[in-house]
Structure 1
Amino acid sequence: MKLKTKQVVLMGMFGALAAVLMLFEVPLPFIAPSFYGLDISEVPVLVGTFAMGPVAGIVIEAVKILVKLLLKPSTTGFVGEFANFVIGCSLVVPAGLIYRRHKTKGSAVLAMAVGTILMAIAGAVLNALAMIPFYSHFMPLENILAAGAAIQPAVSSVWGLAIFCVAPFNLLKGAIVSLLTALVYKRISSLIHSADCEKCAA
């Protein structure tokens, strides 16, 4: 019961930290138009997923979105938040499933690589089907596509923008998130498990 209570607390902490990180975005104008901002909010989510499993990852993603909405109301009618939740889960859930079966460095690298690829695919599909059409209500679609074409001349349609700009953007994001997770996970995991050992010894 103590372990379950601790997991709930940890999921809340990871989710809250992720929500704060979600507020800080950096545009990558050499890959995608400036209205796409990169954040590292998936780092605490992925760390929590590796430490507690893929179900915990989903919960942390949900907490992240809820806390973010408390800190900063939605400007997209919740469409952006829903897309962020789905795209985030497409990274952490597959990664968590793979890592749970074999908790080795090689498995962790494979898990994050697979998660990154699936996130790029999910991001492209969601942008083509939902996000870009939604933003076209506020900015003419031709202007959105023109912004993409200025970076990647192959962009001539919604799917072109999703494939040639959004997918590479999420691949880079996944790589950065994976690198940061690899740098901090072992230390955080050791703190979590050492605390468990101390409780058991007591």
Structure 2
Amino acid sequence: MSNTRVKKLVILSMLGSIAYVLMLLNFPFPGLPPFLKIDFSDIPALIAALIFGPLAGILVELIKNMLDFVMTGSPTGVPVGHLANLAAGILFILPTYYVYELLKKTKKGMTFGLITGTFVMAAFMSILNYYVILPAYTIFAGATAMSGAETRQMITTAILPFNIVKGILITVVFMLLFVRLQTWINKQSIYKKYKNA
């Protein structure tokens, strides 16, 4: 294995570990159900995507969720919540990355990318929760199944607002970091340089 590939794997592992720690520092948001907790663990994954490309961002999302499942476990015994977190992270970072690239790596492009990522994540997570995630919790947690009306209410009053608030908070925090890191990130040619390494 080449030194460049080792270096890339070390950096991605480090970003995955940082993402895991940030995942542990979660908190509820006032007005939303306490089981929906916000964290900033998607930020290291987004940084990985910007430096190494979108697959690296997905890998960081995967690392943090695997670490959390192994170290913390899941109340259902299966990683339903972790898979939901993985899906949400991917749905956030990929649109952000591609819009930023499309708009020539500018601050404006990053702002539009983060906004796009927020709304893509919120919309698709609502759909996934309706058809997959909430039914899976019902099956694996042994909870009483919700009616279609109850599920829709849960999504419109909790899941959708949660993902929008989460995306907005990540956008604000990431932009505060990005104004300082943009030049450094844009100078990194590691992804282009190492993608064939």
Superposition TM-score tier, normalisation by shorter sequence: 0.7 to 0.9
The counterpart of 1:130, out of the listed 117, 132, 138, is 132
User: Contact 1:43–1:181 at 8 Å: present in 2 too?
Assistant: yes
Aligned to 1:114: 116
1:43–1:178 Cα contact (<8 Å) kept: no
Q: How many positions carry a matched residue from both structures?
A: 185
Structure 2 partner of 1:44: 44
Q: Which runs of 5+ in 2 are unaligned?
A: 191-197
Deviations 1:43-102 (A, max 9, x none): 211222223221211111111111222321222311111111111100001111222231
1:45-60 correspondence runs (5 A): 45-60=45-60
**Distance apart, 1:194 and its partner CA:** 7.7
Q: Normalized against structure 2, the TM-score is what?
A: 0.81
Contact 1:42 1:88 in 2 (8 A): yes
Q: Who is 1:67 aligned against?
A: 67
Q: 1:69 to 1:189 in 2, by over 3 A?
A: farther
Structure 1 counterpart of 2:178, from 176, 185, 200: 185
Rounded Cα–Cα distance in structure 2 between residues aligned with 1:118 and 1:196: 28
What displacement does 1:133 show?
2.4
- Structural mapping, 1:1-202, within 5 Å: 2-30=3-31, 32-76=32-76, 77-101=78-102, 102-136=104-138, 137-141=141-145, 156-188=149-181
CA contact (8 A) 2:107 2:179 kept: no
- Residue ranges of structure 1 left out of the alignment (5+ in a row): 146-154, 198-202
Q: Distance in 1 between matches of 2:42 and 2:164?
A: 13
In 1: Cα distance, 2:4 partner to 2:181 partner: 16
Opposite residue 26 of structure 2, the aligned amino acid is E
RMSD (Å) for aligned C-alpha atoms: 2.7
Deviation larger for 80-89 or 185-194: 185-194
Name the % identity: 28
Q: How many angstroms apart in 2 are the aligned matches of 1:99 and 1:3?
A: 26
Q: TM-score, normalised by structure 1?
A: 0.79
In the other structure, the counterpart of 2:195 is none
Conservation of the 8 A alpha-carbon contact between 1:51 and 1:189: no
Structure 1 residue 125: Cα displacement = 1.5
Relative to structure 1, the CA distance from residue 140 to residue 34 in structure 2 (aligned partners, 3 Å threshold; closer, same or farther) is farther
